[in-house]
Chains A and B, each alone.
Chain A
Amino acid sequence: MGKNAELLPGTLDMLILKAVSLKPLHGYGVLLRIRQISGEALDIPQGSLYPALYRLEQQGLIVAEWGQSENNRKAKFYTVSAEGRRRLREETASWNRLVSAIAAAMSTTPDEV
């Protein structure tokens, strides 16, 4: 697990929204996609994936629909809603602000103080 980054609290919802915004996915697909787009660095604890999905669906940020999986199995696919897309944009923006602020803070040298 050495190369894996620790998942920051509160970021799971954002990652799920990002994953399903690229392409409709079933739950297991979300897991694989996040691993893939994070360069295999992020591994979601499987037990917390589904409660998160249900929460997002309850909030109307993602929409679930039953469809066919790649191997022709019945599976529940999630897509992002318009509301979810807006939320994703906001969260991405605020995440970026946070990252640059922390990066700036952490790269400060003694003579800059």
Chain B
Amino acid sequence: MSRFVTPALQPLLRRRDFEDEMAEEMHFHIEQYTNDLVSSGVPPEEAARRARKEFGSLDNVKEDCREARGLRWLDELRQDLRYAARLLRKTPAFTATALATLALCIGANLTVFAVVDSILLVPLPFPSSERLVSVFNTYPKAGVPNDGCSLPNYYERRGQIPAFSALAAYRDGTAIVGETGSTEQEQVTRVSPDFFATLGRGPAMGRAFTEAETSASNDGVAILTDAYWRQRLNGDPHAIGRKIRVNGFDRTVVGVLPPTFSFLSSKARIYFPLPSSPEDRAPKNRHSGTSHMIARLRPGVTVAEAQAQIDAHNAVMAVNGPDAKMMADAGFRSIVVPLHADHVAPIRPTLLMVQAGALFLLLIGAVNLINLFLIRANGRVKELAVRQAIGASLRHIVSGVLVETTLLTLAGGLLGLIVGAGGIRLLAVLGIDRLPLGAHIAFDARLAWAALIGAIVLGFAIGVPVAWFSLRGHSAPGLQGEFRGTTAGRAAQGLRHGFIVAQISLAFMLLVGTGLLGVSLRKVMAISPGFQPENVLSGRITLPGKNYPDVPSLIAFIERLTAELGRQPGVLSAGVVTNVPLSGFSNKSAATVKGFSLRPGEAPHGFYSYSVGGDYFSAMGFSLREGRFLTAADSRRAERVCVIDEDFAHRYWPKGGPRGGAIGQRVFEGGSETKNDADAYTIVGVVGAVKQAGLIEDEAQGAIYYPFGHRFDHSFYVVVRTSRLSESLGIALQKVVRTIDPELPVNDVQSMETRIGDSLVARRSPALLAGLFSGIALLLTAIGTYGLLSYAVAQRRREIGLRMALGAQPEQIRRQFVTLALRLLAAGTVLGLAGAWLTGKAMQAVLFHVPALDAATLAGAATLLGAVSLAACLLPSDRAARISPMEALTEE
């Protein structure tokens, strides 16, 4: 940066030297000439006089020299700056208002821009990251839009897709790391050997994983992130070859990643190989989406080309694929999408909307400032006319205005940076780091550049209309006295009124947008999650396979855990489940009801599938529609039973339908009936549907709950319902788990109410920000209206005085100004109404069941804006009504 700035600043830095040397050089010249004249016989005084006279005006010569060196613009700029600073100092109220406006508007924009920049604009931290793509399987007709990728997908595609220079698979998970007594649950990612090569960034120390390390018997290695290496291994330079204990087994550290390594929003601190057996890679597992796939496009290859090749490859694979027919019915396809864009796609419309809101605010602030400047410029009409009459060029007047506005916006930009820094901190409190890539948001040099460039652009944007007015307004009538009666005066008034109308309509649009967000948020918050979240605590436990090798050991642990928890004071019930609602994950898999074979072309449906143990349903507060809940005993019994939710039940047994009820019917796991009837689960209960993916989930996906003993998982959530939720319960939960198994940590301990709140972050934060913006916009509108009317009153003082002298009542005068304010308000609101409709339409993507035009919101916005504008015009109108005719008429 200094490479660019130093040459530009050099004339400034060396200016004093330049002046001194120039003076000395010319002094030397005159002295030499004088000496020569004296030696040729001229008397000394006469010689000195002649030397100076023949040299000409020293000042003019110096000025010409400065111009020759390209320094003249600097002098003019300095003059303009000094003049502008003096003007701003002379009107402290004006300057303070303008600076506060700029600080708030620029600060709000910088805050939002920091988020937009780091999430949407800054490329992922990998070389040529624009060539990274994600490939995922979709089964739209089965209600499964994204199922990741399977291990067979990875092994079949590796090296077979010419569009990709590299391709890799990964799977997120958790692991218990550390020695007995000091274990911790860590986020880990299991990756194929080419994962780091695909990204283009590998370990800074050591090596990546090898092909040999993908077999389950040989995968005892680990690559650490820089953070883990520093915290847990104290940044040991000889860390390669050291052992860490993971899930009770030793793993050898083979690599340490560089500090800047960061993969999407992953919180993983350790990387393991992604192990699999030949069976895992067999075609029958082609549609078990247990992993995710990333790939790197070859240079010059487009996503569309890669998509065509993947489609062709899938078609070849389907020829003898075991489930090809069924998958085709489910609408199976593998989609190639740009990695970065796909990752941030869910949040993109919201971010752009908030940025648009911030820009609206900036626009309102700018319009406000233009009006304030115009009002002030009007007061300077005579001065400008005089300046021009004595020879100030047009360029001079324009540059004077631009220097002043830019000086102001630069100072405002500086203050805006401070406001922006505070804003970013506020966002952190609002939980912005939970957005995709949200952890990357920072106050950095890019932001400072944005502030600088923004401030200069803004300075010109404000300065140009003001300069234009100054050029129009300076003409001769200005000198002759009353300005307002002239054509130029009327034009200026029209301009000011136009700007205030624009400001009111912009503020109206912003208010309506905020209102819509609020209505939408309230609607979302009013949705029942389907369970009773009050006083429910949940946490995640992963049992290491080494210590819990079989179902009895798992069931024994779960039974002891729920029993111990039940003994804790205040605990009403406790249970476990493979996934809690709103956890951020969802696992859908097919289930087939006996006797309901799929018709040709019909797709199997993916249901949310859970395994439950203990008293899960009563702990979470499910409602029972029919039959009974699953209990702890169902996990012990050989007889297979299950519970479905009402959406599942309605799908097959609509109320009052010919087929009767769901209870007693039998269900198979997977996409088809099996020969062995003993594999079927008998439905013993129907429960209410819960929201899994989010409160706004509209689709009746259907859910099925199996007993933990029949369909187990080593990772699950423990759920505890208490009479009164307290901080200490989380600690008690940890303690209970540790008394059963001292090596086990509990992860992600949160109340269910917090989970619901967190799932709303992407809705609540924008609504809060928009509310903040609207508040500022209202304040700015009030300032704008007040400023305009105060000016109008001051300008028409003599007219008012005259009318009052002729018998006008104060009430009439007051009404005149209130009417003016109302007229402007009405014009602004009508204009804003059209804008509000467009705003509402543009916002549909981020709104939940709110129409583009919401009558209550419109009325509310109009009322609020009207109240604020009227309040702002009362003071000036009152002042007008109290003008004394004598004083007004006698003063000049």
Contacts and interface: CB of A to CB of B under 8 A. Distances in A.
B527 to A, nearest CB: 73
B25 interface: yes
Given A55-B68, A58-B69, A50 B25 contact: yes
A50 B26 contact: yes
A27 B31 CA distance: 12
Contact of A76 (B25, B57, B61): B25
A95 interface: no
Nearest to B53: A46
Interface residues of A, number: 21
B55 A47 contact: yes
Contact of B60 (A47, A52, A54, A57): A47
A10 interface: no
B28 A50 contact: no
B55 A58 contact: no
A14 B875 CA distance: 72
A50 B64 contact: yes
B68 A51 contact: yes
A28 B56 contact: no
Interface in A43-81: 45-48, 50-52, 54-55, 57-58, 66, 69, 73-76
Q: Report, as a range, how many residues of chain B touch the other chain.
A: 20 to 34
Interface string B9-26: 000000000000110111
B24 A28 contact: no
A18 interface: no
Contacts of B68: 51-52, 54-55, 58
Nearest to B29: A28
A54 B64 CA distance: 9
Contacts of B21: 66, 76
Contacts of A74: 24, 28
A69 B68 CA distance: 25
Nearest to A70: B32
Contacts of B33: 28, 46
Max chain A Cβ within 10 angstroms of own Cβ: one of B25, B60, B61? B25
A26 interface: yes
Contacts of A47: 55-57, 60-61, 64
B69 A54 contact: yes
Nearest to B62: A50
Contacts of A28: 28-29, 32-33
Max chain B Cβ within 10 angstroms of own Cβ: one of A28, A48, A52, A57? A28
Contacts of B64: 47-48, 50-51
A38 to B, nearest CB: 18
Contact of A51 (B24, B28, B67): B67
B70 interface: yes
Nearest to B60: A47
Q: Chain B interface secondary structure, helix, strand, loop or mixed?
A: helix
A54 B65 contact: yes
Nearest to B57: A47
B45 interface: no
Nearest to A30: B29
B54 interface: yes
Nearest to A51: B64
* 3 tightest Cβ-Cβ pairs between the two chains A and B: A47-B56, A51-B64, A54-B68
A58 B70 contact: yes
Interface in B709-744: none
Contacts of B22: 50
Contacts of B29: 26-28, 31, 46, 50
A75 B28 contact: yes
A36 B56 CA distance: 22
B6 to A, nearest CB: 18
A58 B31 CA distance: 26
Contact of A73 (B28, B55, B60): B28
A31 B56 CA distance: 15
10 contacts: A26-B25, A26-B28, A28-B28, A46-B55, A47-B55, A47-B56, A47-B60, A50-B26, A51-B67, A66-B21
A7 B31 CA distance: 25
A50 B24 contact: no
Nearest to A66: B21
Contacts of A69: 28, 32
B76 to A, nearest CB: 18
B660 to A, nearest CB: 99
Contacts of B56: 45-47
A74 B23 CA distance: 13
A51 B67 CA distance: 8
Contacts of A58: 68-70
Nearest to B25: A76
A54 B65 CA distance: 6
A25 to B, nearest CB: 12
A54 B22 CA distance: 10
Interface in B27-41: 28-29, 31-33
B551 to A, nearest CB: 87
Interface string B464-482: 0000000000000000000
